[in-house]
Structures are given as C-alpha cells and as structure tokens.
C-alpha cells in the first residue's frame, strides 16, 4: 500500500509539472503581449498611448524580455519554492489572489455537490424503484435534459424569476446563505444529471444480474435488494466519474460566478485568461491540476473500501464502468 | 472570415425595431428642486474590475469612476470644457506653454492629515513619471516633464522641455489627481488594492475586494469642493458601494428590481424602460476621439487617398446613430462634440454614395460580378479587427460600404488578439476610441511623431498638431485644432463613425449624480432620498 501511494504521488508530481509546462509554452506562443493588454485597461478598456520605451521598461520589469528558457527556468524555480509570483495586471501576489477567491468557490462547489448528490441519487433511485412506467420514463428523461441545458441560461432564468420578478433571493454578491441558493442550484443541475445518468444505468445493470435474483430467491426484501446489493455495485461506476464531476463543477463555476456576480476562482480565471496574465493563469492551472490529481487519488483509494475484491487482489486498479461485471458482493 | 451570423442579424433587426418604437423619447432628469438629504449608501454597478482602484494607474472607465471620488485635482474642468480652480486657486502659463505656476489654496489636507502643499504636487508628478508605463494615462500627459520647483508651500512651478498646452487640462483629470506623499512612493500593488491609497478627495477607501465590490466612505471634515459644486463641506452620502456585475442582463434586472441604485452599464436597447417609471437616465458623449476607423496607409489599398475618401463617404453616420441611443447625434469631426474646441466638419462627413463611386472609378477599382470592386485581379476587401461590443453598428457599416463595392470584413477577437494585431501593424483598419477632454488627443493618436495610427509620412497636419500643443491661447489653439481636424477628415486619415456616450441610469431616489468634464461620474453632490 505504501509503495502504491508513493507511486501515485510521483505520478501526481509529473502531472502537475506537465500541466505547468504546457500552459507556459502555450501562453508564450501566443502572439499578444500581456503588458500591452494591461495598458489597454484589460476588458472594457480603451486604447493605450504609452510611450514605447516605457512599455519596454515595464516588460523588462516582469522579465518578459528574457529568453524563453530563462523565463521558464526562473518561473519553475520560483514555483518550486511555492512562490507563484505576482499578477502582471495589478502586481498583487498570485497566492493571495487565489487565497481570496478559493474559499468562495469551495463553498459554492461544495453546496452544489451536496445538492447534486441528493438530486442525482434520488432521481436514479426513483427511476429504478418505481413500478409506474410513466414515472420511470419521466425521470429517465431528466438527466439528458439537465446535461444539455446551458448553465448560463438556467442561471439567468432563475435570477429573472426568483430575484427580479419575485424578490426571494439576491441576484448579486456572496454574502450570506441566501446569496448561495440560486448559484448552487444552477451549478447542481448539470452535475446531478451526470450522476443520475451513470447511477441509473449502473442500477439497471446491477438489478439484471443473477446475484440479485439469488438475493431475491433467498427472501431479501425489495428495499434490501435495491439498497444493499444493487446500489452498492452501481456506486462504483458513479465514483469513477468523480474526475468528470469535479471538472463539471469547476467549469460550471466560471459561468455561475459570472452570472451571479460572485467572487471566485472561475471569475479570476476569466480575467486572468483575458488579460493573458501569465503568472496568475499558471497559478490557477496548478490549482486545477492539483484538484484533479487529488480527486482521482481519493477515488482510487476509495475503491478497495467499496469493492473488497480490489483489496484482495492487492494493488487497486480502477475498473472501467462499462465492462465491469461484479459477481456476488457480500450478502 | 465573414463573421456575421444569423443571430447577430436578428439582434440588429431587433435593435432597429426597438429604436423605431422609442424614437423621440427624451431622457428624464429627476426633479432638481428637492432638498438634499445627508446619509445613506448608494450602490452603483460597474461591469468590469480591472484589479486596481488607484486613479494614477488605471485607464479603464469603471476604475477611473472610482478613483475620481478619492482624489482632488489642481484644477477642475466644467462641462463646457473650461478649466476652473480646485486645489489651485489660480495659475499662470508661460507664453511658450512650457512653464505652469500653480497657487494652491490653504487648508486642504489628505485623509492621513498631511497638507496638500507644493511638496505634495512635486511628489505626485515625480511619482507618476517614476511609475512609467504603469501610469498609462498620466505618463502620456507628462511627456517632456522636467521637474517641479517649490518656492513656497503654496506655489508649485511645473516645467516641460517642450510646449505642452494640454497639461492644464491634464491637471483636472483623476489621472494626475493628488495622493498623499507616502502613497506616491508606496508599492504600486498596494496602491491598486487601496491599502496604501490616501487622497484628499470627498471619499476614502473603505474596502476593496477584487471582482466583488469597492466601498468608499465619506471623508470627515472635507471642505474644498471644486468650483461649480452644488454644495460645500462634506459629501452627502455616507458611502458608495461599487458592485461589479459582469453580466449585462443582470445589471438591467438589478436596477429594475432596485437591488442597485444606479449604473452606467445598461445596454442601449434596455435603456427606454428606465425613462420614467420611477427611473431617470442622462447621457453625455465622451470627449476625445470618437469610435473611428484608422486606415493603415502603409497598405497598398489605403495608400490611395481616393479609396480612403470613398470609404468615408460611403458611411451613413445618421443611420449609425439610429441604432445606438435615441438622443445621440451623428459624429461631426475627428473629435467628439463634447471635446473643448471640437470643430464642425459634418459637411465632410455626409453620406455621398455618388462621390464615393466616382472616386473608386477614378482610382481604377471596377465592379466585379459579385458587386465587389476589383483592380489588377485583387478584390477591394479590407478587414477590421476589434474587441469592443459594437458588432451591430459595425455590421451596419459593412452593409453601407458594400453598396459602393467595398467588402468590409469584421473580425471580432479578444483584447489579446486585437492588441497583438494592432501592435504588429498587420491589419488594414484599426477601430477604437479614446476618452480625453482635450483636443491634444488628436496629436497623441495621429501625429507621425507619436502613435502615428495611420503609418503615414509627415505632412502639414503634423505641423498643425505640434503648433496647437504650443499655443496656450484658447481661441488660437481652437483654430489650429479645427484646421488639423479638417485635414484629417478630408484626407480620410480619420474616418469617425459614432461617439461613445456614457449613460447614467438611476432610480428616482438618486439625485444629483453628475458627469464631470471627461464624462466620468462625480458623486460629491449626489444624495439619496431615504
């Protein structure tokens, strides 16, 4: 187990380094100049009329006139010392900017995830539990709908109805629990849809397995079969898409934070990318990569907990949800 | 390359219908006879947060709006463009416009208690020069600055190596607004986030949270309001909250549902619903360079003056205004009409399709099968790259010039892409505007010695622009500016399209929220009915 964790940590470091390097190369290959963008006032700015010599001086101050390998070595060395540098746009340290935005996004994504789990699991469970065909059809239609609704549109619709028409929740800002409701619901919809889709499919597959028949034959109740046997097995594929869910949450945060005028990593990313603020984009990429690496690590470590056979076989390996068939879980 | 989509065509049609319905509706101003009430907080929505609220460092209109309330200036520019006393009670300009002597008023202090004296003036101007490119506007205004003498605490003598008539107007801007001496040498990043930002203005920094909001608090004991103010003493409002609301429809809904009190960021098609019904709107064109096409004259197509002139003549500017705001007027010179000394060249900017066709015929461009003109096997195709949200207007221009056989391609990109193209010089037509309430903005953009936006050779217009910069006499200077503008427009170095207007939309409870000389906002007199 120790060797396994060490290997995974090694892989994580390689992933982070690769993400950092690829971002660096892409940003520097772009033809535009972050200093010129800053002088243009970023988004919504007007034309800059600054003397070219002064522009060159500012570029030198940020080390943007050094040869590419020097800039790369410098940036990497600094990053290894946990110094992510300062934003080109306003000179603020990248770590403090991320530190300011991160708690808000964490709060938003955590509440959205909690809501998504309730909605997603609930939908999947009811769709396989119900004996009424029309209810099943209706519930099974919800996940594809939830995935395909544009988050942007959902957010604006919710604001229109529940903030502008009927003033129940505030439309702006991130103060208090009330301001968290509409953004969380908006973000939870697509995420719950992915969970429901995968889980419902897993449940249907599991319920058709021979062991379910065996369990029923042994006299297990309908609820016990559903919860204890089928649900447990269906959880595995759903867990496998943990990385996808985290991706959905982060990508959704960009839209949700913009629509609801919230502070957060999503908004910060948009301004950083628009302004081609290299140190800030680098810092955000590292953060996102870390979140993905950690999520996948947690998923991998959870596997043996849920599926004892993985534990028995030694080194856990993540099964592919589509091909996996489990024969008889603990009953 | 053609980026016009069915959706944007629909938007355009929608705009036309909307403006047709609301045509002639005038903007309502709230009653002026009400008695001001002290206290309260005014929430104002802005659309972007540039990550900085230091007025000396920013160039973005929203950020300048915040900075204006924090700093006082040596002078103030009234809405007629006249320069009036503020921190400086009087001043003298040398006949060659190189030396400016300011006599400061007594008793004004920064919010840290230090006096506003000549040493502070010197520290600020020196500090802006030291900021260099970071002071993106101020450094331009201080080109040729050689230093400030301080013969006594109330006298500051500012000198330039070359004539700089624009400097007097520059002293009225927030970009040269005065900060306390310690601020002038503080870390630029801490000035940006407001933690070391200390001015002498009617408001002080309460808090700043990037992408969220900036709260300004009333300065206690403030007693040096600029000439032309409606009252004296402290500001009426206890605080102002600038809330960042990036999404346009959310700004509209927030104002409608009174979650914010006022904003300048309402899309023109949404404005009619704020005329009356418990709201008021007020607009003012931004002074300076209006939205303009700047042809790249180092390109073969635009090296021919006749093609440039035909391009300009093919544009129907009255029609462009019809899809903007009902109260806007067509652009009338190389300068926006609200700029001091702006001339009227509207005759040269009138629609003339026959004239445009004749010029293109003379220049040897022949209409091809698809209606686009051709010469030596090349099509008369030009591309404009832009990032501004003005697609509908530019699509209309595209249709207009097509009528004379010019194929105008629109390429909307990000700020990053567009600035890269502009700086490489690899583009046919530039498109932008520049807010500045002094006609010297023409020299900044067009002169071959400065930005030379057209990539052209030295000509008579450059001499005129240099002369106006050396002429402190307002009337003489206006004459030189008029000659320069006429040449720029007639030779189609400048192809002005329409003026950028700033529109305040506010709830009826909000009173006396006003424009200052650069069409940015002034909150000192503003008050809110409780």
Q: In this structure, are B507 and B495 located in the same domain?
A: no
Contact across the interface for B433 and A46, Cβ inside 8 Å: yes
Question: Which CATH number goes with the domain that contains B126?
Answer: 3.90.76.10
Q: Assess if residue A315 is contained within a domain.
A: no
Would B294 be classed as within a structural domain?
yes
Q: What part of A 217-276 touches B (C-beta under 8 Å)? A: 258-264, 267-268, 271, 274-276
Size of interface A-B (CB pairs under 8 A): 173
Q: Give how far A240 is from chain B: nearest CA, Å.
A: 35
Determine, for residues B59 and A45 on separate chains, whether the beta-carbon distance falls below 8 Å: yes
Are B507 and B18 in contact by the 8 Å Cβ rule? The answer is no
Contacts of B259 in chain A (CB under 8 A): 163, 170-172
For residue A35, list chain B residues with Cβ-Cβ distance below 8 A.
133
Tell which wins on pLDDT, B325 or A266: A266
Domain extent at residue B144? 71-185
Q: What is the pLDDT of residue B25?
A: 33
Q: What is the pLDDT of residue A327?
A: 36
Whole-angstrom distance, CA of residue A72 vs CA of residue A93:
18
- Asked if residue A75 has pLDDT above 60, the reply is yes
Q: Report residue A198's pLDDT band, with 50, 70 and 90 as the boundaries.
A: confident
Across the interface, do A159 and B417 touch by the CB < 8 Å criterion?
A: no
Of B209, B210, B417, the CB nearest to A32: B417
Distance CA B195, CA B172 (A): 24
A90 lies within 8 A of chain B by CB: yes
Strands B381-386 and B407-412: parallel
Measure CB to CB from residue B253 to each of A45, A164, A173 and give the nearest one.
A164
Which residue reads 């929608």 in tokens?
B14
Last residue within a domain, chosen from B154, B185, B216: B185
Q: What is the pTM (predicted TM-score) of this model?
A: 0.88
Instruction: Verify that B177 and B250 share a domain, yes or no.
Output: no
- Asked if A57 lies within 8 A of B133 by C-beta distance, the reply is yes
Which chain B residues are within 8 Å of A258, Cβ to Cβ? 246-247
What pLDDT is attached to residue B182? 97
* pLDDT recorded at residue A45: 58
CB B138 within 8 A of CB B175: yes
A47 in contact with B, Cβ within 8 Å: yes
Does the distance separating the beta carbons of A35 and B419 come in below 8 Å? no
Q: Pick from B185, B214, B243: which residue ends a domain?
A: B185
Q: Are residues B436 and B314 in the same domain?
A: yes
| pLDDT score at B23 | 32
Tell me, what CATH number does A241's domain have? Answer: 1.10.3720.10
Q: What's the pLDDT at A40?
A: 73
Give, in degrees to the nearest 5, the angle at Cα B25 between B20 and B29: 150
Tell me which residue in B192, B414, B421 faces A91 most closely, judged by beta carbons: B192
Min Cα separation B252/chain A (Å):
10
Structure tokens at A65: 């006139």
For B85, the enclosing helix (H) or strand (E) is strand B83-85
Residue B492 and residue B509 in one domain: no
**CB nearest to B250's CB, from A39, A159, A276:** A159
Query: Quick one: pLDDT at residue A191?
Result: 92
Query: Which chain A residues contact residue B450 at CB under 8 A?
Result: 49
pLDDT at B30: 52
Quote the tokens at residue B37: 């009430």
* Closest C-alpha to B240, from B530, B529, B528: B528
Domain total of chain B? 3
* Probe site for chain B from A50, A265, A266, A268 (most B CB atoms < 10 A): A50
**CB-CB under 8 Å, B434 with A91:** no
* Shared domain check, A152 and A20: no
**What is the percent of chain A with per-residue pLDDT over 70, rounded to a whole number?**
90
pLDDT score of A318? 52
CATH of the domain at B341: 3.10.105.10
Rounded to whole angstroms, how far apart are CA atoms A235 and A214?
20
Same domain, B461 and B524: no
Query: How large is the C-alpha radius of gyration of chain A?
Result: 24
Q: In this structure, are B123 and B227 located in the same domain?
A: no
* Neighbour-count burial of A200, counting CB atoms closer than 10 A to its CB (0-12 exposed, 13-18 middle, 19+ buried): buried
Instruction: Please check whether residue B12 lies inside any domain of the structure.
Output: no
Q: Domain range holding A265?
A: 95-309
Among A4-8, A18-22, B70-74, the least confident range: A4-8
Whether A327 maps to a domain, the answer reads no
Could you tell me what percent of chain A has a pLDDT over 90? 33
Residues of chain B falling short of pLDDT 70: 1-33
Specify if B63 maps to a domain.
no
Question: Do A65 and A114 lie in a common domain?
Answer: no
Reply yes or no on whether the pLDDT at A329 is more than 60.
no
Classify residue A243: in a domain, yes or no.
yes
Would you put residue B73 in left (φ > 0), alpha (ψ -120 to 50) or beta?
beta
Helices in B82-165 by DSSP H: which ranges?
118-131, 138-141
Nearest to B132 among A41, A49, A58 (CB): A58
Q: Do residues A102 and A18 share a domain?
A: no
B212 lies in the same domain as B252: yes
Substitution target in B48, B242, B415, B430 with the highest count of A β-carbons within 10 Å is B415
pLDDT at A317: 53
pLDDT at A125: 84
Residue of chain A whose alpha carbon sits nearest to that of B388: A44
- For an interface test with A, the pick among B63, B134, B256 (most A C-beta atoms closer than 10 Å) comes out as B134
Q: How many domains does chain A have?
A: 2
Do B491 and B505 lie in one domain? The reply is no
Better-predicted residue by pLDDT, A233 or B515: B515
Residue B490: which of B348, B337, B358 has the closest Cα? B348
Phi and psi for B522 in degrees, rounded to 5? -130, 115
B180 and B206, same domain (yes or no): no
In a domain, A329, yes or no: no
Instruction: Please give the pLDDT value at position A42.
Output: 57
Q: Are A31 and A109 contained in the same domain?
A: no
């Amino acid at each position: 187990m120790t060797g396994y964790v060490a290997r995974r940590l090694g892989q994580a470091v390689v992933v982070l380094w690769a993400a950092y390097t690829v971002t660096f190369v892409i940003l520097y290959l772009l033809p535009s100049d972050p200093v010129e963008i800053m002088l243009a006032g970023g988004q919504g700015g007007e034309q800059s009329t600054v003397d070219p010599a002064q522009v060159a001086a500012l570029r030198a101050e940020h080390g943007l006139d050094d040869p590419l390998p020097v800039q790369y070595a410098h940036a990497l060395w600094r990053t290894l010392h946990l110094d992510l540098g300062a934003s080109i746009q306003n000179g603020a340290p990248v770590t403090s900017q991320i530190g300011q935005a991160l708690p808000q996004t964490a709060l938003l994504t955590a509440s959205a995830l909690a809501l998504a789990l309730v909605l997603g699991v609930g939908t999947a469970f009811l769709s396989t539990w119900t004996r009424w065909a029309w209810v099943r059809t209706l519930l099974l239609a919800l996940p594809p709908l939830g995935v395909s609704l544009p988050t942007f549109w959902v957010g604006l619709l919710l604001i229109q109805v529940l903030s502008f028409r009927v003033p129940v929740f505030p439309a702006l800002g991130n103060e208090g629990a009330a301001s968290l409701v509409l953004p969380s619901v908006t973000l939870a919809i697509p995420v719950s849809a992915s969970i429901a889709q995968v889980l419902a499919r897993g449940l249907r597959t599991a319920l058709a397995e021979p062991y379910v028949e065996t369990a029923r034959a042994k006299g297990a109740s309908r609820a016990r079969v559903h919860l204890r046997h089928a649900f447990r097995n269906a959880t595995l594929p759903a867990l496998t898409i943990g990385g996808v869910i985290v991706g959905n949450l982060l990508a959704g945060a960009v839209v949700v934070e913009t629509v609801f005028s919230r502070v957060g990593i999503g908004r910060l990313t948009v301004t950083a990318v628009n302004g081609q603020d290299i140190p800030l984009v680098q810092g955000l990429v590292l953060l996102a990569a870390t979140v993905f690496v950690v999520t996948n690590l947690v998923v991998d470590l959870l596997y043996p907990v849920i599926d004892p056979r993985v534990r028995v076989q030694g080194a856990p390996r993540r099964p592919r949800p589509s091909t996996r068939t489990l024969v008889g879980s603990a009953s | 390359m053609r980026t016009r989509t069915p959706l944007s065509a629909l938007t355009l049609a929608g705009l036309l219908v909307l403006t047709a319905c609301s045509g002639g509706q005038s903007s309502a101003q709230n009653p002026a006879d009400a008695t001001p009430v002290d206290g309260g907080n005014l929430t104002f929505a802005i659309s972007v947060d540039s990550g900085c609220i230091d007025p000396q460092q920013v160039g973005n209109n929203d950020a300048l709006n915040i900075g204006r309330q924090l700093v006082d200036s040596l002078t103030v520019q009234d809405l007629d463009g006249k320069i009036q006393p503020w921190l400086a009670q009087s001043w003298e300009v040398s006949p060659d416009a190189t030396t400016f002597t300011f006599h400061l008023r007594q008793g004004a202090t920064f919010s840290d208690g230090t006096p506003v004296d000549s040493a502070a003036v010197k520290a600020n101007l020196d500090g802006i020069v030291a900021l260099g490119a970071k002071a993106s506007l101020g450094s331009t205004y201080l080109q040729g600055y050689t230093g400030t003498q301080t013969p006594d605490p109330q006298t500051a003598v500012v000198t330039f190596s070359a004539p700089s008539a624009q400097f007097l107007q520059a002293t009225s801007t927030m970009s040269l607004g005065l900060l306390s001496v310690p601020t002038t040498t503080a870390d630029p990043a801490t000035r940006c986030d407001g933690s070391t930002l200390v001015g002498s203005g009617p408001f002080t920094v309460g808090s700043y949270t990037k992408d969220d909001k900036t709260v300004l608090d009333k300065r206690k004991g403030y007693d040096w309001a600029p000439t032309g103010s409606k009252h004296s003493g402290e500001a009426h409002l206890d605080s102002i909250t600038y809330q960042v609301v990036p999404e346009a429809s959310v700004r509209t809904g927030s104002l409608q549902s009174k979650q914010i009190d006022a904003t300048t960021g309402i899309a023109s098609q949404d404005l009619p619903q704020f005329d009356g019904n418990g709201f008021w709107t007020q607009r003012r064109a931004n002074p300076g360079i209006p939205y303009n096409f700047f042809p790249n004259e180092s390109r073969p197509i635009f090296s021919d003056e006749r093609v440039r002139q035909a391009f300009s003549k093919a544009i129907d500017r009255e029609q462009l205004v019809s899809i903007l705001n009902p109260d806007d007027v067509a652009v009338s010179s190389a300068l926006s009409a609200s700029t001091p000394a702006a001339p009227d060249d509207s005759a040269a900017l009138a629609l003339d399709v026959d004239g445009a066709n004749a010029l293109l015929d003379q220049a040897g461009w022949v209409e091809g099968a698809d209606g686009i003109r051709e010469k030596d096997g090349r099509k008369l195709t030009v591309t404009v790259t832009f990032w501004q949200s003005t697609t509908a207007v530019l699509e209309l221009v595209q249709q207009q010039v097509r009528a004379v056989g010019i194929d105008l391609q629109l390429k909307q990109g990000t700020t990053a892409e567009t600035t890269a193209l502009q700086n490489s010089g690899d583009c046919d037509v530039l498109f932008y505007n520049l807010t500045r309430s002094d006609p010297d903005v023409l020299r900044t953009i067009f002169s071959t010695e400065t930005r030379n936006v057209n990539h052209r050779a030295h000509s008579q217009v450059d001499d005129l622009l240099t002369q106006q910069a050396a002429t402190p006499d307002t009337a003489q200077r206006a004459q030189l500016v008029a000659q320069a503008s006429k040449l720029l427009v007639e030779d189609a170095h400048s192809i002005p399209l329409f003026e950028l207007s700033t529109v305040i939309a506010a709830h009826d409870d909000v009173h006396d929220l006003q424009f200052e000389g650069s069409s940015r906002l002034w909150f000192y007199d503003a008050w809110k009915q409780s």
